[in-house]
Amino acid sequence: MAPDCNRGIPASRRFLALCLLMLAILQAQAADLTLFDDQLQNGFQDWSWQPGGDGETDVDMALATPVHSGSKAIDYRAHDWNGLSFAHPTLDFATTDHPQLRFYVRGAAGDEQLTLVLQKDGGVAGSAALDGFIVGGGIASGAWREVRVDLREPPLSILGSIDRVDLQDATGVAGHANAQRVFIDDVQLLAPPPSEPAIFADSFEGGVGNVAPVAAADSYSVAKGGTLAPTAPGVLGNDNDANGDPLSAVLVSGPAHAAAFNLNANGSFSYTHDDGADAADGFSYRASDGSAQSAPVTVSLAIQAPAASTPWVDGYYVGYEKDLYPVADLDFTAITHLMVGRLIPNSNGTLTTHFDIDAVNGPIFAQDAINAAHAAGRTAIFMVGGAGELAGWRGAASNANRAAFVTNLLAAVDSYGADGLDLDWEPVDAIDRAPLLALANDLRTARPNLLLTMPVPGINTNFPPNDEATFFASLHPLLDQINVMSYDMAQDYNGWDSWFSSALHGEYGNAPMSVSSSVDYYQGLGIPAAKLGLGIGFYGACFNGISQPRQPAEGLLVASDGAMSYANIANSYLPLMTRTYDATADAPWLGSATPKGPQGCTYVSYEDAESIAAKGAYADAQGLGGTIIWTIAQGHRAGQVPPDPLLDAVGDAFLGDGVPAATLQIEQDVTVDSMLSDRFTWIDASGQPRSASLAHNDTAAGPGGSRGGAMRQFTYRLPGGATRTAGVTNYGNGGYGGFGYVVSHSAWPDNGGGCRADDSPLGFKIPGTFERVFQGRHHAIFRFRQDYPRNCAQVTPVASIPLPVTIDWVFSTGRDNPLWSITFDMAQPGKEIAVDTLLDDSRAPYGELEFDGAGVQNLSGIAWGDRWKFTTTSTPLTLNSHWSWNVPNSVPYVEEWIDATDASMGLVQSRTMTQQDAGARNQWYNDITAYWNKTSADGNAGGAYRMPWNDSWPYQAAEFSLDPGTPNTGTNNARLTWGTSYGFIGQASYDVYDGVIATAPGHPRKSYAVYIVLGTHSSAPVAAQVTQIETLQTLTLSATVGGVVTAGPRGVADSTAMTYEPAGYDPVYGALAFTASGNQLDATIQVGAGTLTHPLIVLRGYTAATPPSLVRLGDTALTADIDYFASVRDDADELWITLDRDLTGAGNRLRVDP
């Protein structure tokens, strides 16, 4: 009320002057200002905008009905390209004079969503969802509701002035026909109510006209025993002074549980908890403008338990992807927190809970996911919001609705049994910081132990937001995790180059984003590293028009999240494009000169195990808290082994020891060079990945008439880290499509039947069937069957005879070389072939592979082992190459190599030559021994040149590509085959190739196995495999629990018994064979000579469904997936184990306990 200046007290000039001044101030107080009442008022103009030329009117300021009062109202049809705007061209209006905006709104349909925007000089002073200011709820149909906006309070917090008021659509609806129709009336800026000037509330010493500052309470969180140090303005950040004077903080009372504490005048402070009491702490202060002080306010400090030392892996699991990764199949091994998405915030503070499914099945999905996480001992957190929900966030977190919003969020947590909330507010603009901070504070206050996390965007280093320090200084103590969404960085914006979805390093001006630069930015804001996580996307980006990174890419992005899931990339792009790993960015990419896959990609950026391992190492080095994954379902490959290779890689990189995932990965039905294939990827003896792709499309023919059964691609890691690929050459024009198929020749004469013209068809062109016999965690058997046509026989007329063939490919983690095992079955029921009908050899496995596109490079040399070791001693390989053949040999092998690329390929038999003969074509061994004379220096073995005559080579390799007419010319033909004598298939007896005149039966079944060896020639991989077979011959196996297997099947699909030599060695699968007793084994492996490297052990009679709980070598307990690799073969009651150990001598005691 106004003072009575005439009351009966002694008058003084000073008091009279003050009274007169006070009356003048009251009379000068601003009046309410009308913007619209039947028409625009007080100089305001209509600055509304709408699309031109569409013939529609979106804003009508002379609507006759409905009206709130008077005779006219405003009709506004809101959509994405228009806005309703009141602007004054010459005057500004201070929010101290007009702190409130009031008008009335009515909807045509109800629940229309608008955004209020206040401007000053063409810039946005503040904006917020309108629903947060509507008295009584949202916009209603058929009823006028008051809108009252406190301009100086959050979420607007406009302390200066405005000159324009806008309303805009908040839904993104397109076009006039789809617009939201609302009615607006009686728009006013309200003056503050008359009140006694603040000069009488303060002492006269405060100065005439000075108003005391107003301080607001603050809340922070600090770890138990930890330190909190918000930077300036700190506690003063939400205080204000009506006169605009600078403020300082003055301590009133200090905290009770501080080991150290200091409050600075600029509002910053440092607080270290004493690590004692768990109770909340706090202190109080006043805000001072130098003349007057505010009332005391309290700064609350919540004491949190220290963060766990184990990194977090937050896997986002959203409802619209539930069918990609059913709840029942979720693998929680590498997940610590399941982020269940999503709750949608509505602008009135309520929640939508359909989880992007529907109102019935969505909640069921969420409950099942949370239950599954808890059953696995994991944490479940609700994802709230997400992209496109900004209007809902703003309305829900407004002053009017925040309390109800907090109540609804906590009710959802309680109803479903969730453990926390992930506040996915995107984007957080400057006007959103105060309401977001208030929301986090209210949630933390209501539930001190609730897990609160928040994702934040990656940073464009060209345009970093440099005004967030104060905001994050207040926010991060309230949160348990702040995770950088450091993915989706490959974009096609104006001026951008092609980049990586998630480059770890290497950002530059035209590709300005990386994981490390984003993490550096947030750490620079004072967020502790242990509270920061980085992001990994289980999806990539597809571009068309460029084929590699760092090329101009504007407008060339085709697809990313969803369409380019890792599962889709692995199935439809990896097999068709060339993979390269970028060492600068620490990221992989795929390139192709022509469009590939469903999206027509020529450049694909994505994540794989190698880039994830690099991110894990970086996070560990930086002390980061963990990682988020968007989204786990996009990495799931149903039916593949393993089904979650990226998730396994994350587990190894963030929760394990950083070693690449050791499990054997089986990708079924992928396309490799236009052939449907299974790809097997395993970790070799050096801990590096290898892969083999086996074609199996047995119906439609592929390139060059290919049908399947062969290996069409093989990769391995070079010592420097690069990946080498051996692939198929020359599909057409009589080419040889891959490696590992059957070829056989007949020695029968033509007999007039024309059979010699087609006595050796290429097996990869003959249809067959495949079977996934065994798909274990670390071991696999892939089987291919076909009826190989034999078109020659002893009798006429010649008829095509189908010869049943079974081939097993065997892959084992911890070992370098796949084993290839074959059986020719002339006694198969219904397809019997009478003895002596065929007089055939075996040239299987047969084929060609090209080393890293090195088909143009000539072979440098050839080697084989029969009774002696044959090796060329000069390069390149020609018919005049020098050679030696004078070192004794026991294990058959063949090898060829290229020095220029340091590449070698070979075959090594799993048994010795006396145990299983190999080699020979037309010559008996004793004849060749006399003919060749053991070295090239002894004469011209082939007549006009040094090398042996091509029909005398025991293994077919490049001899038929060497021209006798030009004996000094080399060849780039990389063909390689095995070899046996004629009669090996079909004869009652045949002459073996063993140095003496001896025979063996070639009927009714013939079986053998060879290792397929690829590697660098400098590392001598063929010689190493030969040495392993030699070492196996020296073994003595024994067992005190369980037993040693001394006999077993002679081959794959061959039940004929054979005696194992030595006892316990199964050459069909290259394994040491034992029997279990009660699923236990106590055995000793005595190595007589040499070193046995990473032996494969098969324990038969093992009936448990899971691997053993304990495996010991000597007295040392071994660690699964690190020291040994185990797989259970249920259908055969077998346990397969690769020991990641080298064995020597006699003291190798192996114990297996269930």
Distances (CA, A) of 1141 to 281, 803, 1122: 56, 41, 10
Residues facing residue 340 across a β-bridge: 317, 382
pLDDT at 326: 96
Q: Which tens digits make up the pLDDT trace of 416-448?
A: 999 999 999 999 999 999 999 999 999 999 998
With 0-12 CB in 10 A as exposed, 13-18 as middle and 19+ as buried, what is 1016? middle
Pairing of strands 1081-1087, 1035-1041: antiparallel
For 881, how many CA atoms within 13 A lie in the half-sphere containing its CB?
Answer: 27
pLDDT at 31 over 50: yes
Q: Which tens digits make up the pLDDT trace of 745-794?
A: 888 665 555 555 557 888 888 889 999 999 999 999 999 999 999 876 65
pLDDT at 314: 98
pLDDT at 80: 80
Q: Which tens digits make up the pLDDT trace of 349-365?
A: 999 999 999 999 999 99
Q: Which tens digits make up the pLDDT trace of 1100-1149?
A: 999 999 999 999 999 999 989 889 999 999 999 999 999 999 999 998 99
Q: Residues 933, 956, 1053, 690: is their CA dihedral positive or negative?
A: positive
Residue 569 identity (one-letter amino acid): I
pLDDT at 937: 63
To the nearest whole number, what is the mean pLDDT of the chain? 87
Q: Which tens digits make up the pLDDT trace of 599-638?
A: 999 999 999 988 998 999 899 889 899 999 999 999 999 8
pLDDT at 605: 98
Share above pLDDT 70 across residues of the chain, in percent, rounded to a whole number: 88
Which alpha helices (H) appear in 295-401, and where do they start and end?
Answer: 361-375, 390-396
CB of 904 closer than 8 Å to CB of 991: no
Structural domains for the chain: 34-190 (2.60.120.430), 212-304 (2.60.40.10), 312-538+606-655 (3.20.20.80), 1034-1153 (no CATH)
Tokens of 313: 């892996």
Kindly report the backbone phi and psi dihedral angles of residue 366, in degrees, each rounded to the nearest multiple of 5, phi listed first. Answer: -60, -45
Distances (CA, A) of 250 to 236, 257, 531, 845: 11, 20, 31, 87
Q: Tell me which DSSP letter residue 705 carries.
A: G
pLDDT at 28 over 50: no
Other CB atoms within a 10 A radius of the CB of residue 464 amount to 14
Q: Which tens digits make up the pLDDT trace of 1039-1090?
A: 999 999 999 999 998 989 999 999 999 999 999 999 999 999 999 999 999 9
What does the DSSP assignment read for 960-1007?
GGS-TTSTT------EEE----TTTBT-S-EE-SSSSS-EE---SEEE
CB of 322 closer than 8 Å to CB of 364: no
pLDDT at 27 over 70: no
Tell me the pLDDT band of 893, cut-offs 50, 70 and 90: very high
Q: Which tens digits make up the pLDDT trace of 262-279?
A: 999 998 888 888 877 666
CA-to-CA distance for 526 and 533, rounded, in angstroms? 14
pLDDT at 205: 36
CB of 402 closer than 8 Å to CB of 392: no
Among the listed residues 494, 488, 606, the one whose alpha carbon sits nearest the alpha carbon of residue 556:
494
Q: Which tens digits make up the pLDDT trace of 130-189?
A: 988 888 778 988 889 999 998 888 888 888 889 999 999 888 777 788 889 999 999 999
CA-to-CA distance for 343 and 1077, rounded, in angstroms? 54
CB of 566 closer than 8 Å to CB of 634: yes
Tokens of 750: 């033509």
pLDDT at 402 over 50: yes
pLDDT at 15: 43
pLDDT at 279: 67
pLDDT at 964: 84
Of 24-38, 42-56, 315-329, 666-680, the one with minimum mean pLDDT is 24-38
Tokens of 891: 């294990």
Tell me the pLDDT band of 34, cut-offs 50, 70 and 90: very high
- Which run of H or of E encompasses 622? helix 609-622
Q: Which residue has the higher pLDDT, 895 or 715?
A: 895
pLDDT at 8 over 70: no
CB of 21 closer than 8 Å to CB of 28: no
Tell me the pLDDT band of 1094, cut-offs 50, 70 and 90: very high
Pairing of strands 626-630, 312-318: parallel
Of 850-859, 884-893, 1023-1032, the one with minimum mean pLDDT is 850-859
CB of 1042 closer than 8 Å to CB of 1082: yes
Residues facing residue 183 across a β-bridge: 75, 106
pLDDT at 464 over 80: yes
pLDDT at 406: 97
Q: Which tens digits make up the pLDDT trace of 807-861?
A: 999 999 999 999 999 999 999 999 999 999 888 999 999 988 876 655 568 899 9
pLDDT at 732 over 50: no
Q: Residues with Cβ < 8 Å from 1115, sequence gap 6 or more?
A: none
Residue length, the chain? 1154
Peptide bond preceding 326: is omega within 30 degrees of 0, i.e. cis?
no
CA-to-CA distance for 1140 and 384, rounded, in angstroms? 46
